[in-house]
Amino acid sequence: MKCPKCKEEISYVRVYSECWQKGYLKEGTNAIKGYDPVQMENVLIDTTGITCPECGEDISDSVEE
């Protein structure tokens, strides 16, 4: 498909969904020392945006899910 915003030919889009990731803090600091894997919650239901990988514009209205 061609992006409706930048007109570039694209073969994939970036789909953003609600998720969470646990970040562990270094003891006695506010710095993150490591992360658990990303936890997905209702990904197919809670898509929050779809963007073009070329220009970054939200093209949710142009993509069928």
pLDDT digits (tens, 9 = 90+) for 3-33: 999 999 999 999 988 777 899 999 999 999 9
pLDDT digits (tens, 9 = 90+) for 35-62: 998 877 665 667 889 999 999 999 999 9
**Separation CA 40–CA 24 (nearest Å):** 18
Residue 2: is its pLDDT beyond 90? yes
Q: For 50, what's the count of Cα atoms within 13 Å in the CB-facing half-sphere?
A: 17
